[in-house]
Chain A
Amino acid sequence: MESTILNKEDEKIIQIESTILNIDELSVSYGGDKYSIDKVSAGIQKNKITAIMGPSGCGKSTLLRAINRMHELYPETHHKGSITLGGEDIYKINPIQLRRKIGMVFQRPNPFPTMSIYDNVIAAYILNGIKLKRSEKNEIVERSLREVGLWDETKDVLHKRGTFLSGGQQQRLCIARALAYKPEVILLDEPTSALDPIATAKIEDLLVKLKKNYTIILVTHNMGQAARISDYSMFMYLGELVEYGKTKKMFTTPKDERTEAYLMGKFG
């Protein structure tokens, strides 16, 4: 069990910086006694990029989805342990409220196909029935699209459908949509796995810029991606958090031999 806790050195560093999300002994099951993730504990650092790596089926998406309670879409899920956001237990907040504080971006770009680019950005307001003045809408759309570097490409076609954009642009639109509500944390579930290398590079650059204002948690299959952009990395294996620490350190001197084997490409 040693390996699930942080090693002392890292723990010190992580405590000095500020923890925004605290995951404490979290286990999640999709039904029955089998837990997809088992007693995961970690403190997620504010304004940093944390990458969650691991082979398929290791529970990394489950962990990510537990953070904004999206795993509850499956009716039989239950969990043990807790997650706190700024000290507040997220399982005591209404999921609808929680998801406005923790935005999410998915594997495949999924802009709303019936909406224009403009409406997609402010979808959270439209769909929640929040009335905004025209000037407020314009401001949110421009700010969000500028944040994701999509403003110059789309400012003349804002009223075309979102699905008319390229895959990479659609994914940036989805990030803009998640940012429009000014969440504290953004969760990304393999956001570049459906994109080509150029679009991937753009998203990576974007995430590095975004961490100034947001805390980013990124699930990735791609070790290179984790090494390039993340500040902290988690390695998960069979539902267990094997190792968590500074990315540079983990990639150069992994503590656990399973982490080492994974990073060497021996499995995954």
Chain B
Amino acid sequence: MNISNSISQQKLKWRIFNDRLFSIVMMSLAFISALPLLSILYQLIKKGYKQIRLNFFIEVAPDTMEAMMAKVNHEIIPGGIANGIVGTLIIVGMASLIAIPLGLICGIYLSETSKGKMAGLVRFVVDMLQGVPSIVLGVIAYIWIVKPVTSGFSALAGSVALSIMMLPSIIRSTEETLKMIPSTLKEAALSLGVPYHRTIFKVLLPTGMSGIATGIILGISRIAGETAPLMLTALGSSAINLDITQPSSAIPLLVWEFYNDPNLIDLIWGASLILLLIIFLLNLGAKAIAKKWKVQY
């Protein structure tokens, strides 16, 4: 009895040790994976905070001469990224206008049609679309819009490229959200003599709104930072441009332009910080909506 008791005591100590070791390892690994984000934020804030003044939001990007003069005089580089902010708002806004209705309809179709060749094909294509490199989408938008429609680089072409990028996340989140809604809710509406299309738009969509809106916002935040497709479509512009058939700037395009100009390179930090903050805010908004609009069945 004594012996077995002492053995189990030893085993117990070993178990407790193992347990603690595991918690510590887990915690440190979790911390390590959070490190890159923290260090990115640290770098951007450290190097970029000086530029974030009111001017930064309302003035357009400076040209290389202005920046050089400021540098020589040891002043803060003048100007801002207003052309990029306006461009991003217009391009992303228009991309959403194209992608949201299409994505919703497609997601509804997939959730309502779980079997069938057509639905299977659509589902497969949507999955593949998720994997298409963004630069390829830029090329496609160039062929579809830049050459034949706007005969030149344009914000519209950028929106089309980005809207294709957004589609998979909207379609999938709509499909998954609608599938989670108990079928009894649909039956309840149909049993009241409500036609099918009204059942979908008045019962299922409002009930799934929280999940669908979250998917849409995450889709927007995914495309807001895209650069490659915009290089082939929106191109960039040194002035604020409200005409969607004309070339337009965008925040990520500005970051790329600043990077290529030794006189402007210091502006990278401020512009990147703003871009990151916009995406953070979108993500926080998505979380808040998911919580606030959550529906209890």
B69 lies within 8 A of chain A by Cβ: no
Max chain A Cβ within 10 angstroms of own Cβ: one of B194, B203, B295, B296: B194
Chain A residues lying within 8 Å of B297, measured Cβ to Cβ, are 110, 113, 163
Q: Secondary structure at chain B's binding surface: helix, strand, loop or mixed?
A: helix
B73 lies within 8 A of chain A by Cβ: no
Interface size on A, residues (CB 8 A): 30
B261 lies within 8 A of chain A by Cβ: no
* Interface residue tally on B, bucketed by range: 20 to 34
Chain B residues lying within 8 Å of A161, measured Cβ to Cβ, are 296
Q: Flag if A106 contacts B193 (CB, 8 Å).
A: no
Q: Flag if B203 contacts A127 (CB, 8 Å).
A: yes
Instruction: Write the A96-113 contact mask toward B (1 if CB under 8 angstroms, else 0).
Output: 111110011011101011
A247 lies within 8 A of chain B by Cβ: no
A178 CA to B185 CA in the complex, in Å? 14
Chain B residues lying within 8 Å of A99, measured Cβ to Cβ, are 190-193
Max chain A Cβ within 10 angstroms of own Cβ: one of B190, B207, B209, B296: B190
A129 CA to B295 CA in the complex, in Å? 23
Q: Flag if A100 contacts B192 (CB, 8 Å).
A: yes
Q: Flag if A128 contacts B198 (CB, 8 Å).
A: yes
Q: Flag if B185 contacts A110 (CB, 8 Å).
A: yes
Q: Flag if B296 contacts A70 (CB, 8 Å).
A: no
Chain B residues lying within 8 Å of A68, measured Cβ to Cβ, are 191
Instruction: Write the B211-239 contact mask toward A (1 if CB under 8 angstroms, else 0).
Output: 00000000000000000000000000000
Instruction: Write the B52-93 contact mask toward A (1 if CB under 8 angstroms, else 0).
Output: 000000000000000000000000000000000000000000
Q: Flag if B190 contacts A128 (CB, 8 Å).
A: no
Q: Flag if B195 contacts A96 (CB, 8 Å).
A: yes
A123 CA to B194 CA in the complex, in Å? 9
A154 CA to B12 CA in the complex, in Å? 58
Given contacts A99-B193, A124-B193, A128-B194, contact A73 B187 (CB under 8 A): yes
Q: Flag if A114 contacts B190 (CB, 8 Å).
A: no
Q: Flag if A112 contacts B185 (CB, 8 Å).
A: yes
A214 lies within 8 A of chain B by Cβ: no
Q: Flag if A108 contacts B184 (CB, 8 Å).
A: yes
Closest to B185 in A: A110
A177 lies within 8 A of chain B by Cβ: yes
A237 lies within 8 A of chain B by Cβ: no
A181 CA to B191 CA in the complex, in Å? 11
Closest to B206 in A: A114
Q: Flag if B296 contacts A113 (CB, 8 Å).
A: yes
A95 CA to B209 CA in the complex, in Å? 28
B182 lies within 8 A of chain A by Cβ: yes
A174 lies within 8 A of chain B by Cβ: yes
Q: Could you tell me which residues of chain B, from 249 to 297, have a CB within 8 Å of some CB in chain A?
A: 295-297
State the Cβ distance, A67 to closest chain B Cβ, in Å: 11
Chain B residues lying within 8 Å of A108, measured Cβ to Cβ, are 182, 184
A100 CA to B202 CA in the complex, in Å? 18
State the Cβ distance, A213 to closest chain B Cβ, in Å: 18
List 12 A–B pairs whose Cβ atoms lie within 8 Å, in order of A's numbering.
A70-B187, A96-B193, A104-B191, A110-B184, A112-B203, A113-B185, A123-B189, A124-B192, A124-B194, A127-B194, A127-B203, A128-B193
7 further interface pairs, Cβ-Cβ under 8 Å (given A127-B203, A178-B192) = A68-B191, A107-B184, A110-B188, A112-B189, A113-B296, A114-B295, A127-B189
Which residues of chain A have a CB within 8 Å of any CB of chain B? 68, 70, 73, 95-100, 103-104, 106-108, 110, 112-114, 123-124, 126-129, 161, 163, 174, 177-178, 181
Instruction: Sort A-B residue pairs by CB-CB distance and give the 10 closest, nearest first.
Output: A100-B193, A104-B191, A99-B193, A124-B192, A127-B194, A110-B184, A113-B295, A114-B206, A110-B188, A96-B193
